[in-house]
């Protein structure tokens, strides 16, 4: 496949097996991420459902989680439910533990209330980010790179 170096704009021919890797440009030695081919949507403008992508149904299944993860982040962000939906279990457990410990310890101390508030704020921001990303970028960030936060 052919891709363009984001630094020097040279068109490079890259083997399909290198998709998802970080390579060095032979001309400018700049590092860049080789995108994973996503396939074309079967119906223009349709990005939901496991059958919406021709090349890989797993891409469609993951992209289908974008809307539900975004809504869960907006509504239940402080508990990390959206992290569990995307398979990011360690980040989900951190959010859940901070929120629950803050709720449990709040009657004893006033300071732990900030933990759930911070987790709620993170969930709100992540929900907006999930819903505003394109399907391709959402897949790259959370399925390929496994980005835990923001």
pLDDT tens for the chain, 150 residues: list them: 788 888 898 888 888 777 777 788 889 888 877 776 655 444 444 444 444 444 556 777 888 899 999 999 999 999 999 999 999 999 999 999 999 888 777 666 666 678 888 999 999 999 999 999 988 888 888 887 888 887
CA pair distance 147, 150, nearest whole angstrom: 7
Q: Is residue 150 part of a domain?
A: no
Element (H, E) at 4: strand 2-4
Q: How many CA atoms lie within 13 A of 65 on its CB side?
A: 18
**Model confidence, pTM:** 0.65
> Are 18 and 72 found together in one domain?
no
How many residues would you count in the chain? 150
> Are 65 and 135 found together in one domain?
yes
Reading the block at residue 69, the tokens are 């993860």
Q: Is residue 52 part of a domain?
A: no
Indicate the number of domains in the chain. 2
Q: Is residue 47 part of a domain?
A: no
Place of tokens 């539900």: 68
Q: Is residue 66 part of a domain?
A: yes
Alpha helices in 4-112 (DSSP H): 57-76, 81-85, 89-105
State how beta strands 2-4 and 11-13 pair: antiparallel
């Amino acid at each position: 496949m052919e891709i363009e170096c984001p630094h020097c704009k040279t068109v490079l021919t890259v083997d399909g097996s290198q998709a998802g890797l970080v390579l060095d440009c032979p001309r400018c030695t700049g590092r860049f991420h080789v995108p994973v081919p996503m396939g074309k949507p079967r119906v223009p403008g349709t990005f939901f459902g496991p059958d919406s992508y021709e090349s890989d149904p797993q891409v469609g299944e993951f992209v289908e989680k974008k809307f539900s993860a975004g809504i869960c982040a907006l509504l239940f962000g402080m508990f990390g439910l959206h992290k569990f939906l995307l398979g990011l279990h360690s980040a989900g457990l951190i959010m859940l533990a901070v929120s629950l410990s803050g709720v449990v310890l709040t009657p004893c101390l006033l300071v732990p209330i900030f933990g759930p508030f911070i987790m709620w704020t993170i969930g709100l921001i992540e929900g907006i980010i999930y819903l505003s990303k394109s399907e391709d970028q959402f897949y790259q960030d959370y399925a390929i790179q496994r980005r835990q936060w923001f």
